[in-house]
Amino acid sequence: MAVEKIQTDVLVIGSGTAGLAAATYAALEDKQVLILDKGALGRSGSSTGAVQIAGLGDWSHEEDDTERYLEDIYTSGRGLSNPNLAKTLVHDIDQRIQDLIDWGLKLDREGDQVSVSHTSGHSLPRSVSAKKGKAGLGLLHTLRKKVTKDERITTLSDVMTIKLIKSDERVVGALVLELSTNKFFLIQSKATVLATGGAGQLYPITSNPVQSTGDGFSLGLQAGATLIDMEQVQFYPVSIIEPQSIAGLCISFYHNSKLFNNKGERFMKYYAPDTLEDATRDTLSIAIATEISEGRGPIWLDATDVIDQVKKEFSHEYQLCLDRGVDLANKRAQVGPAAHFMMGGVRIDADAKTDVEGLFAAGETAGGLHGGNRLGNNALSECLVFGARAGMNAAKLVDDVTVSILDANPIRINQYGNHRPFEIKQHIQHSMSSYVEVIRKNEGLREALNQLLNVREQLENVQISNPDVYSREIVDYIEAQHMVNTAEAIVRSALERQESRGSHYNTDYPDLTSTIKHNLVRMKNHQFQVQPEEVESSETKR
Amino acid sequence: MKLNVKINRGEHIDQFEVDYQPDMTVLNVLDEIYQHHDPSIAYRYSCRTGLCTTCMMMINGRPDLSCQKTAEPGEDGYLTLAPLPKGKTIRDLIKEY
Ligand SMILES: Cc1cc2nc3c(=O)[nH]c(=O)nc-3n(C[C@H](O)[C@H](O)[C@H](O)COP(=O)(O)OP(=O)(O)OC[C@H]3O[C@@H](n4cnc5c(N)ncnc54)[C@H](O)[C@@H]3O)c2cc1C
Ligand code: FES
């Protein structure tokens, strides 16, 4: 069966904040843009859950400026932040937030002042919000309105990207599956932007939506792009563990609350005596995971002293807990680290270009800005700044491309295979949570690699009993293939880093090495290659 | 414990008897059906935290978020699920966006 072809100037894959921004700015350059999403457009990524965005504006603290912001990013990045990306972020963010305001975004206010909050790791209050603490929704609504009104932009929900297509070493489009018809399409594009978000679903407990299965890292790898520092997975330190129905829910007010181990000790005094719970996410995650692994878990969050503030500023989180039987006004909640954010990702330059001609990446799919630890609320800023840059630069590619029509059906449907796709996903999650969590060991990482090899064998023998439209089994099958690639990139990067830096904590190498290196992962002839690269710049070293 | 579930799938209504724990949401019940009863069941969700609204459906006759609503039988002893009446239904509980 021949695959139908669609043509566009710019193809944007993923419609979170980064993808919608890319589509918007590419269309402003008068290009035809096609933006697609495997879920409901503009409603299916991590962006939905974001509370605040960090940045600069006329509301900034009087002592704040680009230099100070940059300094905080470098300190937090543990030497791994790419200075070109960090400088771009602090330089552009003011204008990007202003654009959104011009397009209708209303920042939350206290009286006639924009509310600006403190976030752990930022040396000054720098975080703002919209829609009463739902900044992500605010940005998505504003950008979705912009995108759907623009006649140069075509939007497609429920269209899943299976692979990127190359011709002469250049990405020229993508092969996609329309879930509502089960038809494959070949999208031919002069430029392609990967904005598929993160990979939290590699772990059983995550704050991420169900769509965050790491597709973009796998798509990038297969197209020849370089992944950088994939071992740097951020765990949100204080997330609900029980009840199961809200496991992974981030508790945004942890820095004002108290954490106790099962001995009733406020244990952060041993790990961060100056800041206690107001520590950066890597420090806090490692502290909590250490308490649990040494038998002093479970860990409990006590927010009773600040409950009035919680009810006011974080009413959504308070209500969610209450609805599921945890009244934080008089009860402690069981908490722990949950997979939250991928700091590694597809390597880009300040123009959001990857190493492959025709391919751009932005948002959580791109790597290198945050280094070893992302500062809270810098993810949305990254999406706006690099989403915009990806769109603007993608629009500059004007060379026509041609793609030959594919004939083969790219998905093998076997109703009698042995492994259900959702079980394969669970196997990946089990391996990652057993061996590639907050605390890692060489032996465990090697075991994870072995288990992922088994998963690849299982993927050769998958049972798909429902080949009809909107088959969750087909979605799970495609996602499992992306997940195993992304998982392997993380594990191989983790094995390469023989030190503990940022969110990568290996008890076999608990110290920092004197030479700071990035880990670069590539795929050549279906084989993974990991190459360390020394950090040249001395600016970021702390 | 068991929960009886009826799902309006357009041309027919299917019934399931599902293992059930009291803190389960409607979405947890749908996952249980997909994994252990009928792999063809189609439903949409994303954030699981009541923000994206893509998991909205008719639950015991009223529109609600399946990720937030505790799974409970209605007056007839069944948890009854159906797609939202407005807009095009792609399959089972999935609306077009
Ligand atoms: C609960 C939560 C709270 C957070 N809070 C904050 C905060 O307060 N401040 C902050 O700055 N950051 C926060 N973050 C992080 C931040 O929200 C994300 O990093 C950011 O929104 C990612 O945006 P994105 O556009 O890169 O990707 P996403 O918003 O994740 O969007 C990616 C999109 O790509 C689609 N997609 C994926 N794969 C494919 C494929 N193969 N084909 C087609 N489409 C595909 C997905 O369906 C999705 O819609 C939070 C994250 C979570 C999960
Ligand atoms: S899954 Fe997002 S609101 Fe229910």
pLDDT tens column, A232-288: 999 999 999 999 889 999 998 998 999 999 999 999 999 999 999 998 888 899 999
Segment B20-47 shows an average pLDDT of 96
The reply to whether residue B94 touches residue A43, judged by beta carbons under 8 angstroms, is no
Q: What is the distance in A from the centroid of ligand 1 to the CA of A335? A: 22
- Taking the CA atoms of chain B, what radius of gyration do you get in angstroms? 12
Alpha carbon distance, N-terminus to C-terminus of chain A: 57
Give, in order, the Cα–Cα distances in Å from A135 to each of A39, A132, A144, A148: 20, 8, 14, 20
pTM confidence score? 0.97
SS3 B5: strand
* Facing A465 at nearest CB: one of B28, B39, B92: B39
Q: How far is CA A374 from the centre of its chain?
A: 11
State the residue range of the domain holding B48.
2-96
Extract the residue ranges of chain A whose pLDDT is less than 70: 1-2, 405-409, 537-538, 540-542
Residues of chain B contacting A134 with CB distance shorter than 8 Å: 51
Total CB pairs under 8 A between chain A and B: 88
Give, in order, the Cα–Cα distances in Å from A212 to each of A158, A197, A378, B43: 15, 6, 18, 17
Is the CB of residue A379 below 6 angstroms from any atom belonging to ligand 1?
yes
Q: Which of B30, B51, B81, B97 to mutate to test the pocket of ligand 2 (most atoms within 8 A of CB)?
A: B51
Q: Does A244 touch chain B (CB under 8 A)?
A: yes
A225/A348 Cα distance (integer angstroms): 9
Domain count, chain B: 1
Active-site annotation holder among A281, A374, A389, A492: A281
Q: Which of A47, A93, A131 to mutate to test the pocket of ligand 1 (most atoms within 8 A of CB)?
A: A47
The reply to whether residue B39 touches residue A137, judged by beta carbons under 8 angstroms, is no
With vertex at residue A335, the alpha carbon angle to CA A331 and CA A341, rounded to the nearest 5 degrees, is 140
Would you state the torsion angle of the CA atoms of residues A435, A238, A213, A383, taken in this order, to the nearest 10 degrees? -130
Backbone angles phi, psi at B32, to 5 degrees: -60, -40
Residues of chain A contacting B96 with CB distance shorter than 8 Å: 157, 180
CA distance A173 to chain B (A): 24
A238/B20 Cα distance (integer angstroms): 28
Is A281 annotated in the active site?
yes
Segment B21-35 shows an average pLDDT of 95
Closest Cα to atom 44 of ligand 1: A37
Alpha carbon distance, N-terminus to C-terminus of chain B: 36
- pLDDT, tens digit (0-9, with 9 covering 90-100), for A92-130: 999 999 999 999 999 999 999 999 998 888 999 999 999
Q: Does A210 touch chain B (CB under 8 A)?
A: yes
A53/A135 Cα distance (integer angstroms): 7
Residue B80 sits in a domain of what CATH number?
3.10.20.30
Q: What is the CB neighbour count within 10 angstroms for residue A273? A: 8
| DSSP conformation letters of B34-86 | HHHT-TT-----S-SSSSS-TTEEEETTEEEETTTSBP---TTSSEEEE--SS
Answer for the pair A288, A279: CB distance below 8 angstroms, yes or no: no
For the segment(s) A235-337, the CATH number from 1.10.540.10, 3.40.1390.10, 3.90.700.10, 3.30.413.10 is: 3.90.700.10
Segment B56-79 shows an average pLDDT of 97
